[in-house]
Amino acid sequence: MTVALVTPVGVALAVQYSGYRVQHTGSLPRGIYRTMSGPPTRGTIGMWCLPLAAARLARTRHYVGPGPCPGDAEPVGKIVLAAGGDTVVFDTSGAHIAGRRVPNTRPRARDTAGRPLTPAPYRTYVLRRDEVWLWSPYSTRSFDSRYFGPVSTRQFLSALKPVWVRSMPEVP
């Protein structure tokens, strides 16, 4: 029994510390990704530290595990929906870019445990050059910018390139 537990954990740790990352949540397709350098731009798949208040909430509610980010939170894998200079109109139906509503951005009133969720303020955001709007096209329940608003690019850890994933649908 011990060997059965140690082997998967050992493999995951070896992958994690060799420039690869095991993605285990629904925000991105589950699988193995290679970490890469480069600036976060629209469409970048990346690892991010959450803003402190969001990280504390995410840790308290067990959305994320312990990790090296502020609030003792693990980084999250998200996609950059909008970047510096872009305009995001955020309302009760979700995020709108260039007049089109983006799928999987409508905020939910409650999380999967029935606890209330507070969305980011409904308004028009013109992102500064050092800000991005994060999302997941893969999950309607992703904890992303619809709940904490724009994120500073200083919270960007690395870009990710899929190496082996269960499925990688097209991003709309």
Q: What is the CATH number of the domain that holds 67?
A: 2.10.109.10
pLDDT computed for residue 165 by the predictor? 84
> Is 97 domain-assigned?
yes
> Is 51 domain-assigned?
yes
pLDDT computed for residue 8 by the predictor? 54
Below-70 pLDDT ranges, the chain: 1-18, 167-172
> Is 69 domain-assigned?
yes
> Is 171 domain-assigned?
no
* Total structural domains within the chain: 1
Owner of token pair 């269960």: 166
Owner of token pair 């082997």: 7
> Is 73 domain-assigned?
yes
Q: Give me the domain span that covers residue 18.
A: 2-165
> Is 172 domain-assigned?
no
